[in-house]
Structure 1
Amino acid sequence: MTLTDFEQAHLDLIRDYFASIESGVSTRAFFTEDMLQIEFPNRLNPKGQRSDLVSLIQRSEMGKKVLTSQHYEIVSAIAQGNRAAVEAVWTGTLAIPFGALSAGSVMKAYFAIFFQFRDGKIALQHNYDCFEPW
């Protein structure tokens, strides 16, 4: 199935979004003002979490204090209309000790992230994050 230019633009936006996270640049411009991010329960966040734009940006800023670097490798991506889904492998290098891990340790997780777009921006993001044991 061939992607439309519209759908390809959504996948390009996701790649740019991940690159922005990796470089530590603010991700605010990628989202609608009323965006919602839902992180389903996982090892790092056992109760899951719902974030609006303000809380998502705050969490991102906190993450910069916990990680010295992070990387997203997109394994697969698909887009249909105003929706896209990405399978990614995430790695993050700790700046501080976390649980049994020391500073400098690398965490790894497998993400399935589902996006919904409006006006060329992310309006809804669902994260299914599966972290390797630490």
Structure 2
Amino acid sequence: MTEEETGNVATIEAYLAALAEGAGSEVLRRFFTDDALQVELPNRLNPQGGQGDLETLLQRAEQGRKLLRSQTYEVRSVLARGDRVAVEASWTGTLAVPLGTLEAGAAMRAHFAMFFELESKRIRRQRNYDCFEPW
């Protein structure tokens, strides 16, 4: 890996760690460019998929903090090429509140493929393919 790629991977690893720690908007904002865009492909929680700018992304992260007691990311693989990083990860979230048929305290599990484009070691574009296990 080049020095740029190593730095970009470190940024993504730090971003996922901040999410797992329940970091607030101001901490998460530091990982993104001002013109950041996130695209979420359709999944069980968001059947229509969607996209959002930085403010929308931070609002969704805040909603996630209220929904989850805790969350973890287990990175399965990482590929980096220039300003792009691809991550395959397993995710587990423990609910703070009931969701659908799940009670507070239940664990949700998903398998994520996340694709990032970075600029100066900050995330400019993020695409998520989130595959949730049945509940």
Superimposed CA distance per residue, residues 16-35 of structure 1 (whole angstroms, 9 cap, x where no aligned partner): 00110111113110000000
Residue 10 of structure 2 is matched in structure 1 by 12
Identity percentage of aligned residues: 52
Residue 128 of structure 2 is matched in structure 1 by 127
Which whole-Å CA distance do the structure 1 matches of 2:77 and 2:5 have between them? Answer: 14
Residue 85 of structure 1 is matched in structure 2 by 86
Which whole-Å CA distance do the structure 2 matches of 1:10 and 1:132 have between them? Answer: 29
In the alignment, structure 1 residue 40 sits paired with structure 2 residue 13? no
Which whole-Å CA distance do the structure 2 matches of 1:119 and 1:87 have between them? Answer: 23
Shift of 1:51: 1.0
- Structure 1's consecutive aligned runs of 4 or more residues displaced over 2 angstroms after TM superposition are none
Query: Structure 2: any 5+ residue segments left out of the alignment?
Result: none
Number of matched residues?
Answer: 132
Query: Structure 1: any 5+ residue segments left out of the alignment?
Result: none
Q: TM-score of the superposition, structure 2-length normalised?
A: 0.96
CA RMSD across the alignment: 0.6
Q: What amino acid is the match of 2:48? A: K
**SS class of match (1:129):** strand
Task: Summarize the alignment of residues 102-113 of structure 1 with structure 2, pairs less than 5 Å apart.
Answer: 102-113=103-114
Q: What amino acid is the match of 2:42? A: P
Q: TM-score of the superposition, structure 1-length normalised?
A: 0.97
